[in-house]
């Protein structure tokens, strides 16, 4: 999903830095997308970026990527993780980033490849609210719904609960969903957002 998300960012903002573990994929994508710049290592990407958007595999991948980039990011940079990971990892990464004067948002996405291609993903965000507001215009480039849910880890908790709600119906679904957020309007807004995708 990362490639179409990057395409939307490029169209909206005019430039984007790109890294993929398979460098040939990075080069191919950048050849197709004027205004993009290919990087073959995370350190150089970090030095050249004020905001980094991750969409990768799992907890270990996210941890390795962030640990590799952190020494090279400028103070006040932002890492936005769109990977669906554990709440514990999101909290761990938020603390680690804060120790390096870097902000971290856990912003898992739902909507699949089609949602990414069409720019209509749904995003559930956890972390600092001021950072979310600062990054919000970038999120709007590739998503239809963006909802802030409070402290680090809440984005991960909410997406898991919403997925359970969609698999359930009636009172059970509402009970599961109410465990994730305290504001009923937020819960309903996100579930409605998923139904629209």
**85-121 confidence digits (pLDDT tens):** 999 999 999 999 999 999 999 999 999 999 999 999 9
- Residue 69 is predicted with a pLDDT of 98
- Is residue 119 included in any domain, yes or no? yes
Q: pLDDT category, 196, cuts 50, 70, 90?
A: very low
- Is residue 36 included in any domain, yes or no? yes
Range of the domain at 106: 2-152
Cβ(159)–Cβ(82) below 8 Å:
no
For the chain, count helices (H), then strands (E). Answer: 10, 8
Structural domain total, the chain: 1
Q: What is the CATH number of the domain that holds 42?
A: 3.40.50.720
Q: What is the mean pLDDT of the chain?
A: 88
- Is residue 135 included in any domain, yes or no? yes
* pLDDT exceeds cutoff 60 at 22: yes
- Residue 169 is predicted with a pLDDT of 57
Please tell me the distance from the alpha carbon of residue 56 to that of residue 191, in angstroms, as a whole number.
Answer: 24
- Is residue 183 included in any domain, yes or no? no
pTM for this predicted structure: 0.86
- Is residue 107 included in any domain, yes or no? yes
Q: What is the arithmetic mean of pLDDT over 56-64?
A: 95
Q: How far from 91 is each of 54, 143, 154, CA to CA, in Å?
A: 16, 24, 9
CA angle 77–99–65, rounded 5-degree value = 60
Task: Work out whether the CA dihedral 190, 169, 110, 99 comes out positive or negative.
Answer: positive
- Is residue 178 included in any domain, yes or no? no
- Is residue 26 included in any domain, yes or no? yes
- Is residue 195 included in any domain, yes or no? no
Give the chain's end-to-end CA distance (angstroms, integer): 15
Percentage of the chain surpassing pLDDT 70?
Answer: 84
* pLDDT exceeds cutoff 90 at 187: no
Percentage of the chain surpassing pLDDT 90?
Answer: 79
């Amino acid at each position: 999903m990362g490639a179409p998300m990057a395409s939307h960012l490029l169209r909206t903002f005019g430039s984007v830095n790109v890294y993929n573990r398979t460098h040939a994929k990075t080069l191919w994508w950048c050849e197709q997308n004027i205004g993009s710049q290919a990087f073959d290592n995370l350190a150089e990407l970090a030095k050249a970026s004020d905001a980094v958007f991750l969409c990768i595999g799992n907890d270990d991948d996210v941890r390795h990527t962030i640990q590799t980039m952190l020494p090279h990011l400028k103070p006040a940079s932002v890492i936005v993780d769109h990977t669906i990971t554990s709440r514990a990892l999101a909290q761990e990464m938020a603390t680690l980033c804060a120790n390096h004067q870097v902000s971290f948002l856990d912003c898992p996405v739902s909507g699949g490849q089609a949602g990414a291609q069409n720019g209509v993903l749904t995003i559930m965000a956890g972390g600092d609210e001021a950072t979310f507001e600062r990054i919000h215009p970038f999120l709007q480039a590739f998503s239809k719904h963006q909802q802030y849910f409070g402290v680090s880890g809440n984005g991960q908790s909410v997406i898991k609960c919403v997925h359970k709600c969609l698999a359930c119906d009636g009172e059970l679904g509402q009970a599961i969903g109410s465990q994730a957020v305290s504001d009923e309007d937020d819960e309903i807004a996100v579930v409605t957002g998923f139904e629209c995708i």
